[in-house]
Amino acid sequence: MVWHTLLIKCYNQLYNKHLKNTKPFQLILERFFFILENHTFTKKYNMVLSRFWLAIFISSIVFIIVSLFASNTYSVDYVLNGKKDDPVLISEKFLKEIPAFIKDSIQKSEEKMFTTNRDTLNPDTTYVYKNQTVKIYSGTQKSDGLLPTCKNSLFDIILPLMAYLAFFCGLMELLIISGASEKLAKKLSPFFSQIFPSVPKNHESVSYMTLNFAANFLGLDSAATPFGLKAMESLQTLNPDKDKASDAQIMFMCLHAAGLTLIPTSIIGYRAAANAENPADVMLPCIITSFIGTIAALLIVGIKQKINFKSAALIVGLMSVIAAIAGLLFYVNGLNLVEKNFFTSNLSGLMLIAIIGITLVYAFTKEKKFGEQKTTIFDAFVSGAKNGLTTGVTIFPYVMGMLVAISFFRNSGLFEIMSNGISFVFSNIGVSKQITDSLPVAMLRPFSSSGSRGFMIDAMNTFGVDSLTGRLSAIFQCSAETTFYVIAVYFGSINVKNTRYTLGIMLLVDLICVIAAIAVASWFF
């Protein structure tokens, strides 16, 4: 069934049932899920992520080749071997072919080079004389090339991730053997059983998910990922179809999409480095935006999975979270700038230290249980760490494949064309230029955290850290998740091939976060 037919049917069904006082929002969602799960691409197997990966890879390669033969690109070497922020080679000429004033400047220079167009609007053009020719460079490379990306995905991403996984998986092994995870699961089961009805009460996955959400909430990325991977592994034991994502796994993944963080320490740090008047003034908008996205994810997936939102445990749990956020915000709002910076910079670190300390102390008090398992606390830690290393090896191909595709997409120029096109459309329908200038951050955020961070820093430097563009870029960066990376890592770790409607919902939540960020930023600033 083609898309337009589905949309027409959706509209007709919505119109007819709305006249009968039914719930139109729920109906829209039902049609949305129908499209996700029954479209030609996903009818037999879920190929959304795979097809998307192929699309951006192949389209980027075709565009690069066309640009080369159309003389829009001088060399494709940068796509393969170039590094981010390196100057891009646009031409090569003999010295005699260079304008006289540039030729004279090169010959007078000790470095045999000359740079023009030193301003903020146009890229520098640099002439370098070497081996009897003059190489002309202009602009900078947007992303690492294929080979550096392969290398960096291993050395800069996977190896540090494996180190984090080894340490925190070791701690989680202590939580399991000591019985701490079981106790935590029992206390939270009434709440989690409503959101994850397929997960049995007191199941170990509850404690792992709790630790993951808590770590993300506090901005502890190094700890959040190991906890999340352990949660997915635990949920996989309940999954009857190992190649297909379960409802619980989908809910867990979609709740990540908004990137709910209470203390956006990295964002505050970047703004402080850019000499913002009040680096922490985006904290409240970031929390509000990400919270809206999280609630949207819960509602959308919950309606699909027929979750009972009238449950007392669920309502109490959500109200408790809202009250905790509101209380902390009220406290932070009463601090001066120095106190805010001190509080935000230390809270996350102290919480991480507390988690580690409590785990070790509790394990020590339950040392007899380790003896019953014929092991020691340290040996149990080592065993868990080994499992973390194994998980890291499993994840690597998924991460590398996704990052290389994104590298091609950015270096080809397609992303820039798409970004400029969207900005042009929005500017012509009356959207403020301050908002359109920040949209590249929102567009790139689902693909690449480092890429969107680069756009954010550039927006701060170009338009001002305290401008609406600078602040909105920071909110975009904070209130969304690197969707494709997260899907590759989490589902790749358990070899799930059919992600069902996970990608569609996560991208929808990303869009909701973008809309919410614009509304909140416009309201605050």
Give per-residue pLDDT as tens, 453-464.
777 877 887 788
Burial of 479 (0-12, 13-18, 19+ CB in 10 A): buried
Decide if pLDDT at 314 tops 50. Answer: yes
Query: According to the model, what pLDDT value does residue 344 have?
Result: 65
Q: How many whole angstroms separate alpha carbon 488 and alpha carbon 523?
A: 35
Q: How many whole angstroms separate alpha carbon 465 and alpha carbon 234?
A: 43
Decide if pLDDT at 264 tops 50. Answer: yes
Query: According to the model, what pLDDT value does residue 363 have?
Result: 92
Decide if pLDDT at 44 tops 50. Answer: no
Query: According to the model, what pLDDT value does residue 422 have?
Result: 79
Nearest one of 466, 465, 414, 419 to 440, comparing CA atoms: 419
Query: According to the model, what pLDDT value does residue 379 have?
Result: 94
Phi, psi of 130 (to 5 degrees): -160, 135
Query: According to the model, what pLDDT value does residue 15 have?
Result: 43
Phi, psi of 413 (to 5 degrees): 95, -5
- Looking at residue 153, the DSSP 8-state letter turns out to be I
Decide if pLDDT at 435 tops 60. Answer: yes
Q: Give the torsion through C-alpha atoms of 259, 262, 263, 268, to 10 deg.
A: 60
Q: How many whole angstroms separate alpha carbon 208 and alpha carbon 225?
A: 11
Q: How many whole angstroms separate alpha carbon 246 and alpha carbon 305?
A: 11
H or E, element range at 448: none
Q: What share of the chain is helix, strand, coil (3-state, %, to 5)?
A: 70, 5, 25
Confidence band of 23 (pLDDT split at 50, 70, 90): low
Burial 350-361 (b: 16+ CB within 10 A, else e): ebbeebeeebee
**pTM for this model (two decimals):** 0.69
Least trusted range by pLDDT, from 75-84, 295-304, 428-437: 428-437
Confidence band of 48 (pLDDT split at 50, 70, 90): low
Confidence band of 222 (pLDDT split at 50, 70, 90): low
Decide if pLDDT at 76 tops 80. Answer: yes
Query: According to the model, what pLDDT value does residue 119 have?
Result: 59
CB 208 within 8 A of CB 430: no
Residue linked to tokens 């389209």 = 59
Give per-residue pLDDT as tens, 469-500.
889 998 998 887 888 888 888 998 898 888 88
Mean pLDDT of 243-266: 84
Q: How many whole angstroms separate alpha carbon 383 and alpha carbon 388?
A: 9
Decide if pLDDT at 381 tops 90. Answer: yes
- Looking at residue 94, the DSSP 8-state letter turns out to be E
Q: How many whole angstroms separate alpha carbon 178 and alpha carbon 355?
A: 15
Give per-residue pLDDT as tens, 91-114.
898 888 888 888 888 888 888 888
Give per-residue pLDDT as tens, 10-20.
444 544 544 44
Mean pLDDT of 296-309: 88
User: Could you give the strand order of the β-sheet that contains 113-116, starting from the edge strand earlier in sequence?
Assistant: 87-94, 133-140, 125-130, 113-116
Q: CA 70 from chain center: how many Å?
A: 35
Mean pLDDT of 123-134: 84
Greatest extent of the chain over all pairs of C-alpha atoms, in Å: 85
Q: How many whole angstroms separate alpha carbon 388 and alpha carbon 390?
A: 5
Nearest one of 418, 449, 432 to 522, comparing CA atoms: 432
Query: According to the model, what pLDDT value does residue 30 have?
Result: 54
User: How many Cα neighbours within 13 Å face the side chain of 68?
Assistant: 13
Q: Please, where are the H alpha helices in 129-179?
A: 146-152, 159-178
What are the domain boundaries of the chain?
3-44, 87-140, 152-524
- Residue 480 burial (CB count, 10 A): 28
Q: Which residues contact 248 (CB under 8 A, 6 or more apart)?
A: 196, 198, 199, 205, 235, 238
Say whether 130 sits in a helix, a strand or coil.
Answer: strand
